[in-house]
Copies of this chain bind each other. A is one copy, B any other.
């Protein structure tokens, strides 16, 4: 007796997984090279991936669907948090932002998310759910732990604290004067956000 596969395979040549991956990779490559969603063309993707347009249209019905899937492919491996001190955990989170901003692919994807949200709401929604929300939750958890433990101000507005940390870090990734961010940037940001800019009496 022959074991039936879990899903009966239809007759005919099976779809190539390799082609599928090549398509997604080509899409991310082109986006990572600074191409906006509207400049991105199916023909360019097919050419870059070395596949025919048919192979793309057989899987995705239009460009937006493809981009949505391609962005969803980007993994979001949050850094391991030591949990020893809130300061260390915040540094870990912010340093992950710094490292990601060094990769052109992540960089451009973030650009797209920030700028084309109005034009592609479905894309944005899915990207936020996949990439933004987990990071927000992690940071929120760390801050709340800090409040509970006394490492942070008990009256702290958590959302405002998150805005300070994320906003400052994002500001640097945007306006860094060409090239890499200082390796100790995350540490300096966290220390300054915690201490404030006013003199400590």
Residues of A within 8 A of B (CB): 34, 36, 38-39, 108, 111-112, 114-116, 118-119, 143, 150-154, 156-157, 160-161, 163-164, 166-172, 174-175, 188-189, 192-200
Contacts and interface: CB of A to CB of B under 8 A. Distances in A.
8 contacts: A153-B196, A153-B200, A157-B188, A160-B188, A161-B192, A161-B197, A164-B192, A168-B168
Contacts of A198: 151-153, 194-196
A200 to B, nearest CB: 7
Contacts of A189: 160, 163
Contacts of A193: 164, 196-197
B114 A157 contact: no
A139 to B, nearest CB: 12
User: Nearest 3 pairs between A and B by C-beta?
Assistant: A196-B196, A167-B171, A115-B115
Nearest to A151: B198
A14 to B, nearest CB: 38
Given A114-B111, A115-B112, A115-B115, A196 B194 contact: yes
A164 B111 contact: no
